[in-house]
Amino acid sequence: KLVGNQISKGGGGLEPRDYYLAVQPSRCNMSPESRFDCARDRALSRRECEERACCYSPLNDSSKAPWCFYPYSYPGYKMGVLTPTERGQAATLTRASPSYLPRDVATLHLEESQESEGCLRLTDRWSDRYEVELLTGVPQGKISRQDALMNSTVAPLLFADQYLQLSTTLASSLVSGLGEHYTSLLLDLNWTSLTLWNRDMAPHVIILQPLPALTWVSTGGILDLYILMGPDNSLKKYSSLGYPMMPPYWSLGFHLCRWGYKSTNITRQVARRMHDANFPMWNDLDYADKGRIFTNDPLQFGDMTEMVEEFHLRGLKYVLILDPGISTTSPPGMYRPFDDGLKRDVFIKNATGQLLIGKVWPGATAFPDFTNPETRRWWEDLIVEFYSKVPVDGLWIVRTHTHARTHTHTHTHTHTHTHTDVNV
């Protein structure tokens, strides 16, 4: 049983401001722990808060509860009829009026899968977004009572081009898990924010509050939820969603990698000292020719293969950094990763279909689109080829997201480029 105002109730045709004017004062009368933040994106004045059709009520400095918060029955999505599908059931969710978010999505597709226990998927009805393949074969569970597993009536579902937000009450104040952080096993529900570090920035955030309740925020994509019903075999059900790669034993513990080992001779000297201290060591991008990955500097790292073989004879493991920013500045035929990547159409493009170019270590840089299966095959081919020359024991793959300043890019058959700075 799933409960939600965006599912069970419609928002009518009121614009947010009109809705606020129609709000009864009683709809803003709620305890501080029951407030759900209506100003997560930025601090709002009373007027700005009310323009979002939200309630504004300051609290004393000791309270962490939001001052700008959603009233009861805030306008949201209205769900159409549930229809049977091969997986389970599906329905269309529609928003009668826009939210306060830019480029919000008016129509969503909801899919409830019975192949995997409690799987809910919310997607953009009309636009393509990257979607992780749904899992099958997750152990099933049953509940004997009509309990509410989720209750999203407490705050609206928000679904925009680059912002997703879903809130629900929790059945218990005993909460654990939720990503990489140093806390006790049981999490603090006193307005605690937890970041899921999928990248260097914070694209996924979980907010816990004393109600108890949870709000999940993401900067894009779609919404997949797996609801694993206990109490029996809860860990088995959770682990059935997938395991991380089993790391080799030698890769565990403390390692050293830093910028500044400018040659194979310097690397050998540091490796001897690190070996005496029982620390594995890695090379940063110093080894690469002009910062281009899958190459080695012919002057400073010309005997790189011999160095790695020496390490192996001494029982040492060797790891290199790979920064998947591919240099675009080499003449045609001089840098295979870029030439082959163009032929196989593996790079990210901008809204006009041109290559998205950023400025990273090798200069003007193209970024692989790892959501494309061909990109993954291209990447594997490059690693296999490089490994045949330099038999590394591991690769440190960093910065798999686009970053730094980007440029619009025009590519011609003569490999000339024109760039216009664009801040993103």
Domain ranges (residues) in the chain: 249-422
Q: Shortest CA distance to 170 belongs to which of 154, 157, 194?
A: 154
The pTM (predicted TM-score) of the whole model is 0.65
CA 330 – CA 186 distance, rounded (Å): 53
Taking each helix axis from N to C end, the angle separating 336-343 and 373-389, rounded to the nearest 10 degrees, works out to 150
Query: What CATH number has the domain spanning 249-422?
Result: 3.20.20.80
Tens digit of pLDDT at every position of the chain (424 positions): 333 444 433 334 445 555 555 555 678 888 999 999 999 888 899 999 988 989 999 988 778 999 999 998 888 888 888 888 877 788 888 888 888 888 888 888 888 776 555 566 666 655 666 666 655 554 444 444 456 667 888 898 888 888 889 999 988 888 888 777 777 888 999 998 888 765 555 567 889 999 999 998 888 777 777 777 766 777 777 777 777 778 888 888 888 888 888 999 998 888 888 888 877 778 888 899 998 999 999 999 999 999 999 989 988 888 888 888 899 999 999 999 999 999 999 999 988 999 999 888 888 999 999 889 999 999 999 999 999 999 999 888 875 444 544 444 333 322 222 222 222 2
CA 11 – CA 69 distance, rounded (Å): 17
* Residue 4 pLDDT: 41
In sequence order, the 6+-apart residues with CB closer than 8 A to the CB of 133 are none
Q: Report the DSSP pairing between strands 319-322 and 394-397.
A: parallel
* Residue 347 pLDDT: 95
Average pLDDT score over the chain? 78
